[in-house]
């Protein structure tokens, strides 16, 4: 009978330990701390984040927004844009004549179908890619 008490005491002690140990818990509170100082992170991270972004930046142009460019280069690029715009207008007039968008119509260019539909809020231009089925709608508001 004495051995039975020993086994019962050992069993109850083990059961109590298995019940008490998990209830004390080994968990902790998870607290989110952002790295970016713009979102409340540590300001020391700013230089590291900036240098990391600069190394990943594929655009290596100047950040002067064209202010340091030569005026002759500006003139050349402006002239090229105007010539291309004029060529585009001439091609469209040769292909379609004078287009009055207020009347609407449907046009096809290779894999694209363009439908012009006048509406109450303006003119809707629906562009559909026939090969993929993608569709885009552009609304030109009335003036």
pLDDT at 135: 93
Q: DSSP for the chain?
A: -HHHHHHHHHHHHHHHHHHHHHHH----------SSGGGT--TTHHHHHHHHHHHH----S-SSTTTTS-HHHHHHHHHHHHHHHHHHHHHHHHHH-S--TTT-EEEEETTEEEEEEE-SSEEEEEEEETTT--EEEEEEE--
Condensed to tens digits (0 to 9), the pLDDT of residues 16-59 reads 666 666 555 566 778 888 888 888 888 888 888 888 888 888 77
Interval 78-84 mean pLDDT: 84
pLDDT of residue 143: 61
Average pLDDT, stretch 78-100?
Answer: 74
């Amino acid at each position: 009978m004495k051995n039975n008490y020993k086994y019962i005491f050992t069993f109850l002690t083990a059961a109590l330990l298995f019940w008490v140990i998990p209830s004390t818990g080994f968990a902790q509170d998870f607290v989110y701390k952002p790295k970016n100082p713009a979102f409340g992170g540590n300001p020391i991270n700013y230089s590291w984040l900036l240098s990391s972004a600069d190394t990943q930046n594929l655009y290596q142009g100047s950040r002067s927004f064209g202010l340091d460019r030569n005026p002759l280069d500006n003139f050349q690029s402006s002239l090229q844009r105007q010539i291309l715009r004029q060529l585009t207008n001439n091609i469209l007039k040769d292909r379609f004549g004078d287009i009055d968008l207020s009347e609407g119509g449907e046009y096809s260019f290779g894999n694209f179908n363009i439908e012009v539909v006048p509406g109450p809020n303006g003119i809707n231009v629906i562009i559909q890619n026939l090969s993929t089925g993608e569709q885009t709608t552009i609304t030109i508001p009335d003036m």
